[in-house]
Amino acid sequence: MLKTIGTLLVSAVFFISLSSFEAPTVKKEWVKLGSKKVDYRLDRDVILVGPQDGLFTKLKLVVTNGSLNMHKMKVHYANGTSQTIELRHNFSRRSSSRVIDLKGNKRVIKKITFIYDSKNVSRRKAKLHVFGKH
């Protein structure tokens, strides 16, 4: 009797585990490439990326803690080319940019340069976070 119950229990666990098995899928997830705490004036900052982070097709910016007036960003690729993206966007704290498509196919990013100024009334420095999508 105990042997039969044990066999049924093992069988049930086996079939439940098979039913929850899914084939691996390739997900296009957002990867954090870096963050910078910004100053209260017109400034230029660089976030270094590199080939170890992978190939990317899209970027997204998220601002936390304070407000930020982003003028433009320049994406420098590993092959020596670059792409200037005019943003001219006022970010409030806890806001994000549109999804920014990168030119060409999947690209290795060497670095990203940002030109911005901070209009922070709350006296808290904004923090800029950059995410890339594979």
Q: What is the CATH number of the domain that holds 95?
A: 2.60.120.1300
Domain count of the chain? 1
- Backbone phi, psi, residue 127, to 5°: -125, 125
DSSP state of 52: G
* Residue 75 is assigned to a structural domain of this protein: yes
pLDDT in tens, 2-34: 555 545 454 544 444 434 433 334 356 899 999
* Residue 18 is assigned to a structural domain of this protein: no
pLDDT in tens, 93-114: 889 999 999 998 889 999 999 9
pTM of this structure: 0.74
CA–CA distance, 74 with 107 (Å, rounded to integer): 14
Helices (H), the chain: 2-19
C-beta of residue 57 within 8 angstroms of C-beta of residue 77: no
CA–CA distance, 70 with 119 (Å, rounded to integer): 10
Q: Can you give the pLDDT at residue 26?
A: 38
Helix (H) or strand (E) holding 88: strand 82-91
pLDDT in tens, 117-132: 876 555 678 899 999 9
